[in-house]
Amino acid sequence: VAQPWLALASADFKTCPPRVAGKVAHRQSVRLGRTAKLACPVEGDPPPLMMWTKDGRHIHSGWTRFRVLQHGLRIKEVETEDAGTYVCKATNGFGSVNINYTLIVIGDRRPAAHASCSDFPTDPCLRPRFTEPAKMRRRVIERPVGSSVRLKCTASGNPHPDIVWLKDSKPLAEEDAGAEKKKKKRWTLSLKNLAPEHSGKYTCHVSNRAGQINATYKVEVIQRTISKPVLTGTHPVNTTVDYGGTTSFQCKVRSDVKPVIQWLKRVEPGEEARFNSTIEVRGHRFVVLPTGEVWSRPDGSYLNKLLISRAQQDDAGMYICLGANSKGYSFRSAYLTVLPGQRSRVRGAPPAGSDKDSLTYEEYAAAHQQLLLAPKLYPKVYTDIHTHTHSHVNGKVHQHIHYQC
């Protein structure tokens, strides 16, 4: 005996492969600079997924003038290179179907010099306009020697406008300037391996028979000079952490070249034996701490952080961030205070008004001159380092640096 629910289930789960649901004109034409729309009237159950290709290449979001719609493809500001074979492939779990198009771009008519837009009433002219003005706001650009710069003048119009680049009001040869000729990049001027002679005013002149527009960039190529690094901002700053908690110091260094950023911690009296290598500064000793990755920031500075986890009383004290390059170094100190746990004593920042434990630049520089500049004492301080760890009874792991001297 047939069960009614079987018939209901069969109806609910009716499926079919994709099929073309309307008439299709497989040959399409569009005028240069206009918008083209190619339909993909396909239906199926479940609804199929659409994928478009041009001349066998998948059309994706990187094709900035192309937009895949729910039932078609839209191409804005059509260029001559957009002509070709387009395929819409519709697929669901039960099959697929293709719709093929041949797109013809009606050409780059170049009328005589005396022709005007009124001579072509059926094809109204549009004067050029910049289509990406947000990318053109920065008109004065400074770059160091050896770097590169890209100048953009993306524009549209009808008929499709031409672009000419000038340097200091003189035509600029494409091969000399490195102008990009690839599709979608004809509006970008790329200057690579900059030298002082690249400095000047670069003007893009965009025109068609409806009008013209210009944009000028001023490029200044500066000689790269190296000076000693400078610690910027307020970091590192005095910090307080709960016993067993986690905190960090950070250090921001501005340098013309990537600096070495090193963290030092003052060793409390009687604890020198715990460390294999320390530096003495007027009766105080400092240990060099393991340093993580130095991050390059967009503003040209470099950032490094020192993480202190499961803080205990022996983590309290003075910390120093040192930034160094081949021209010198700068440093700044800060104190860590660990709030006391049960039966623990507080060590950390000195009382307000007390400066007996602080270091002057001259004191620190005198001691660290050995570290940075005296090969007899520390011949491989930055090039031959290894670490080891050991654990305390309470479960905390310490890591120390060994230097081959």
Instruction: Give Cα 220 to chain centroid, integer Å.
Output: 23
| DSSP for residue 204 | E
- The string of pLDDT tens digits covering residues 297-352 is 766 788 999 999 999 888 899 998 988 888 888 888 899 999 987 544 444 444 43
Cα within 13 Å of Cα(17), Cβ side: 7
346: CB partners within 8 A, 6+ apart: 313, 316, 337, 338, 339, 340
The answer to whether residues 256 and 224 touch, using CB atoms and an 8 Å cutoff, is yes
**Domain made up of 14-106: CATH architecture:** Sandwich (2.60)
The answer to whether residues 356 and 283 touch, using CB atoms and an 8 Å cutoff, is no
Phi, psi of 346, rounded to the nearest 5 degrees: -90, 130
Supply the pTM of this predicted model.
0.36
Q: Is 63 exposed, middle or buried (0-12, 13-18, 19+ CB in 10 A)?
A: middle
The answer to whether residues 191 and 219 touch, using CB atoms and an 8 Å cutoff, is yes
| Residue 405 identity | C
**Domain made up of 124-222: CATH architecture:** Sandwich (2.60)
d(C-alpha 232, C-alpha 365), whole Å: 19
Quick one: tokens of 131?
């289509």
Q: Give me the pLDDT at residue 52, please.
A: 93
Residue spans of the domains in the chain: they are 14-106, 124-222, 230-403
Q: Is 347 exposed, middle or buried (0-12, 13-18, 19+ CB in 10 A)?
A: middle
d(C-alpha 47, C-alpha 90), whole Å: 9
166: CB partners within 8 A, 6+ apart: 172, 202, 203, 204, 205
* Strand intervals (E) in 268-344: 278-281, 284-289, 295-296, 301-308, 317-325, 328-339
d(C-alpha 146, C-alpha 117), whole Å: 46
The answer to whether residues 347 and 338 touch, using CB atoms and an 8 Å cutoff, is yes
Q: For residue 348, count other CB atoms closer than 10 A to its CB.
A: 18
The answer to whether residues 153 and 223 touch, using CB atoms and an 8 Å cutoff, is no
Q: Give me the pLDDT at residue 176, please.
A: 55
Q: Give me the pLDDT at residue 257, please.
A: 77
Q: Give me the pLDDT at residue 99, please.
A: 92
d(C-alpha 82, C-alpha 77), whole Å: 10
Instruction: Give Cα 321 to chain centroid, integer Å.
Output: 27
**Residue spans of alpha helices (H) in 69-189:** 174-177
Nearest to 231 by CA among 323, 300, 306, 320: 323
CATH topology of domain 230-403: Immunoglobulin-like (2.60.40)
d(C-alpha 69, C-alpha 35), whole Å: 14
Q: For residue 403, count other CB atoms closer than 10 A to its CB.
A: 17
- The string of pLDDT tens digits covering residues 104-115 is 888 644 444 444
d(C-alpha 115, C-alpha 110), whole Å: 9
Ranges in the chain, pLDDT < 70: 1-14, 107-123, 173-185, 225, 281-283, 298-299, 342-405
Quick one: tokens of 251?
């250090």
Equal CATH topology for 124-222 and 230-403: yes
Q: Give me the pLDDT at residue 85, please.
A: 93
391-398 contacts, C-beta under 8 A, 24 or more apart: 394/312, 396/310, 396/312
